[in-house]
Amino acid sequence: MSLLALFLLLTLSSAQKPKNYVIMFADDFGYGDSSVFGHPTIRTPSMDRLAREGIRFNRWYSANPVCSPSRAALMTGRLSARTGMSRCMPTGGDGVFNPPSIGGLPDNETTIAELLKKKGFATQIVGKWHLGINEFNSTDCVHCPLQHGFDHYLGLPFSNSEQCADEDNPLRCFLYENNTLIEQPTDYTNISFRLLNRALEFMTENKDGPFFLYYPFLHTHIQLFASKMFLNTSRRGFFGDNAEEMDYCIGEVLDHLVSLGIDKDTLVFFTSDNGPWLQKNVSGGSSGLLRGGKFQTWNGGIMEPSFAWWPGTITAGRMSMELTNSMDIMATIADFEETTPPNPLDGKSIKSILLDETAKTPHEFMFHYCGCHLMAVTHGAYKAHYITQDVLVTNCMGDGVQTHDPPLLFDSLRDPSEKYPLTEAMDTNYSSVLATIEAAVKEHKANLNPAPSQQNRGENKDLQPCCNPPHCCCGPACHKVIE
C-alpha cells in the first residue's frame, strides 16, 4: 500500500463517526437467556440479528451485579464505588434505590446524555431509570432523568416489583413522564408498547439527527409480565414470554432505523445490567454455562450478552473475545465525539474494536465490585476472586460470603464456568499473575477516592409516590433511617 493510500485510509477511519446513538439495556437478563447465546427454548431472532449483522461480545462485563450501581456505571462510565451509587455497609445490602430512598445520582456526575446534549443531541429515555428520585424535604423528582441531561422521560423510576404491591396486584408501580407521576398503578397490559411507541416516535421526530435514545427495558425483572401478543407463547414459560417480548421490541427499533434510512448513521448497543436472578428459580433467567448470577461477581453475575450494531461500518457477523464492559460505552461515545468528560472514566474507548477486527482490548485489568466492595479482578485470561458468595446469597457481604487469601485464581478462557481454581502446580504463571494483580489492586485502591454512599442516607416514606394506602405509607411515623 502506498503512503498516500495509507494516509487516506487513516483519514477516513478517524473521521468515521455515528450521527446517532441507541443503548438498549435489559434487566436481569442472563448470559444464557438468548438463542444466540445458546438457550434451547427462548426465541430471540432480533438478538440473533444483532449478532449476524453486527459484533457479538463474548467477554463483556457489567460494572456491578446489582441494578442501581450497574446503571450508574453505564451512564457515567465510572465505577459506582467512585460515584457513591453503591451501598457501603458491612452486609452489603441489595444496593438499589426504593421509593422512599433519599438520594440519587449526584449532580457532579456527567451522564452520556449530558455529554451529548452539550454537543447538540436530542436525548430521551424510555423505560427503567433506577438512579433515585427524592432528596431530603423535597417531593420533586430531583434525581430524575431530566436533571441528568435527558430532554424527555417516559418510564418507571424503579423496578417493576414490590412498590405498592399486594397479593392481588403484584405489579403496582409508578409511571412517570418527565418529572411528573402520571399513573399509579401502572397498566402492564400495554406498558411495553407504550414505551416502544414513544421510542419509535422519538427517532422519527429526530431522524435528521443527531439523537441519543436510552431504552432500558423493564424486562426480564421480577415481577414478570407480558402483553396479550406474547402471553403463553414461549416454551420457556412466563419468563420466556417476557424475554421474547423484549426481543420483539429490539427488532422494532432496528427495523425503524432502517425504514427511516438512518441505520448506517446509528451506533446501537445492547447489553444487560447484571446476571439472572437465580434465587427466583424458574421465574428467573439463566447464566448458561457460567457460574453464579445476580448479586454475585462470579462470571454468571457480571458477564453479559452484548452486541454492537452499526450497518456499513461494523463488519457483520464478528465475534469478539476482547475484554470489554458497560462503562466503555461512555468512553467510546466521548471518543467518537472528540470530547473529554469532566470526571476521569473507568471505562475505556473500544472505538478501535468496533472499527478494526484486529484491535485488542484497552483493559489490562478489570476490577469487579459488588456494591462498594472489590470482589475480583480480571487480568487477561485470568480472574482472581478475593471474595465469593454462595449461590443463594443476595448481599455483597455477610452470611454466605467467603474471603480468600490468597485469592482464588481461574483461567477464564479455558474455564469460563470457574469450576477449577488454579494452583502453582497447575499453572507456571500462578505466582507471577497473582503478584501482578495484587500490585494493580494496591494502586487501584490508592486512587479510587470513593464518594459518600447515596444509598446509605436512609429512607423517608413521606417522600415516596403514594399509590394505594395502606400498602404504601405516608407521614412521620413511616420515616426510617438505615444505620
Residues recognised as catalytic: 67, 130
Q: Which residues 6+ apart lie within 8 Å of 11 measured at CB?
A: none
Alpha-carbon distance of 479 to 218, in angstroms, equals 29
First to last CA, the chain: 66
Distance of alpha carbon 358 from the chain centroid = 26
Inter-axis angle of helices 328-336 and 67-76, nearest 10: 20
